[in-house]
Chain A
Amino acid sequence: MTRFFDERGMLLQRQGRIGFYVPSFGQEAIQIGTANALKAGDWVFPSYREPGVFISRGASLFKMLCNLWGNRSDVCKGRQMPNHYSFADLKLFSVSSPISTQVIQAVGASLASKLRKEKDIAITYFGDGGTSENDFHTGLTFAGAMKTPTVFICTNNQFAISVPTSKQTGAARMADKAIGYGMPGIAVDGNDVLAVYKATQEAVDRARNGEGPTLIECVTFRMGPHSSSDDPTRYRDQALYEAWLKRDPIQRFRQYLESKKLWDQKQQDILEKELKATLADAVEKAEAEPAPSIETLFEDVYSEMTPQLLEQKAALEMEQELRGKFENTSEAFPL
């Protein structure tokens, strides 16, 4: 479903039906492998490239699609760019665009679990580029010092937009960084869903048993662009891309299942048809939703509107009466 969702997201953007999309092509095994190693009560702090984690944790496809349109049924009420989901009821933390801010926040959530003597752990996701930000370092420093029940998933897809990992760090492996923070660091094949699942399961067990945090580096390759605004052919070696194409994580898992006689073409066809129908139905419903109402602009800034916001809301309502409709003056995202 993650692959289909991403394909549909990119298509909707190319058709001009949504403004922007961030695909996760090639990174499905990491999302599915890690998410399935969690329990329902665990906290998840994703980056903007983990739709599969949301889907695996049971987020509504319709609600996710509403976020792509930023419409009235979008949980975020049309305030964020596409791919910035939020599902508090599923403990899926609101996605931010600034890089790695969620890493230290996940440590805080897991520390709270520890202090409250609950068994829930926190898992957080970030990329290879994310390991350079301050919040990555503080996150792992605090987690190591406080022995929090946190699992750090570094999706090393080898590019931070255009910047290759070789320019991001002098370290041979991102997993090597763990030693400096006083926690185990493991590197796994990020295109092998079972390897990712096993490594995550062990780290989750350690966290739940009070043995502290773990850094897992999932080595993969970003098969798509950074976003719908990016053109990877400007900076990415085509031969490298083609080599990784042969390691498609979904194909690999399918071949494995077929070799064990657990799966066949017929089952595949039935599943694909079913997933596509479910997705098409959700797309149709989401696209039909109207834009958020103007008063939503003023909601949720504070728990209650301040006098200034009430005044600005009244002024905007008066202006609307005067003008009728507001002209949409937005230009296309120039990135």
Chain B
Amino acid sequence: MHEAPIILIFATMLVALCLALLSKKRKRLDMEQWSVGGRRFGVLFVFLLLAGEIYTTFTFLGGSGWAYGTGGPTVYILAYGAVAYLFSYFLLPPIWRYAKRHQLISQPDFFVRQFNSPALGVLVALVGVVAIIPYLQSQMTGLGLIVQMASYGALPQWVAIAIAMFLLAIYVTVSGIYGTAWTAVLKDILILAVVLVVGIALPIRAGGLHQLMVHINQEKPGFLTLGQHGMGIPWFLSTVALTGLGFYMWPHAFGAVYTAKNERIFRRNATFLPLYQLILLFVFFAGFAAIWIVPGLKNTNLALLAAVQKTFPAWLVGVIGSAGVLTAIVPGSLMMMCAGTLVAENLYKPCFKNASSQQVQRVARVVVWLVAIVTFLFSIHSNATIVALLLMGYNFVSQFFPTVLLTLFAPSNVTKAGAFSGIVIGVVLVVYFTLTKQSILWGANTGFWALLVNMLVVLLVSVATRQKSLSPAQVNTGM
């Protein structure tokens, strides 16, 4: 009976791989096909691709783990989605229009074209790849835990992560974005069912939601509100602002924007995506219930899985594990593919100007494997919570936001030098905060401070450089 979960999980992986192979057969893949799906995706697919970003291991295991270990501050996850989608209504259509007009493929292309500066593209690509690694690591940590749990400890975590990484790299190499979109459909159906089951059954097992909350509040006063561990209201405000604004600055999310058929798709989705966010509530309920069902876990990432294992029969554990596997494969594959495209298009190509498109594609595929290996090495040595890893990535990518915002809505206020200095200073601050392990400074998220300094630097340096040479900046930032 104990083999059931692991069999189900590997079957799921196999199905995902088959979907990828099938979708490949229909299309010959060049770079544009491979990474932006020929810009032909409609409302549903774009919705799923963008939602695929959101319903990742981060929410499934990370969200429940945070509810379990951190409590009240988890509420930021509800809020930032709403803020991000609200902004998407205004932010994404102009990005999409610009990308379509200039046939852009990757996020750095946007910067290269706006400022006529391949060097800026190299910088953006580098920061993007750096940010992707902790994100991917969070997905792999989740995948590893699921496989480990499903095998009832027979497979140690590093083997589990190695299997997960290997599978993901193969998946990405053969499929590209079509595979991702189809798996996203499968994933969303399964995850919805699983989250509802888990989010309802576990609280019932813990005596009902109301009872559970009263109980938690008695045992741990203050746990269910903001304020503990320095995570008070200023932390909430700064983190929601940081992650809400940074949401679409992820290279893969930025790239997913290019896949849409028209710009109205984004405005329509801005209405429905916030509702989709409510599914997360059930994940939190499960996390809170785990406090009652499996108290005292050292590794909070395990909260949901441990509670599930204690409550449900083995086959159901398998189904839940399979959903978890898909929540890691969809965003994981997008991110790996994205890292490949970033390096091939924006680092390799500018350096080797006469490289053929086949060579560029081969580089992209090699990079996928390199990223897999690097992430694997980071994953086996780390015990960071999944949410902490994700927030680290957000600190990096949100540094693109000031420049993107200004180029879209106030192009005369930003110059190449301004964009460059803002991003560099923001990223340097984030690296400093990361290395000194400071995630909160003066009550607010450190990434938010970096973002503020970044914005200020962009504006000041742009003013200074524009006075010196008015015309080139305006020529370059026009359009």
Tell me whether A and B are bound partners.
Answer: no
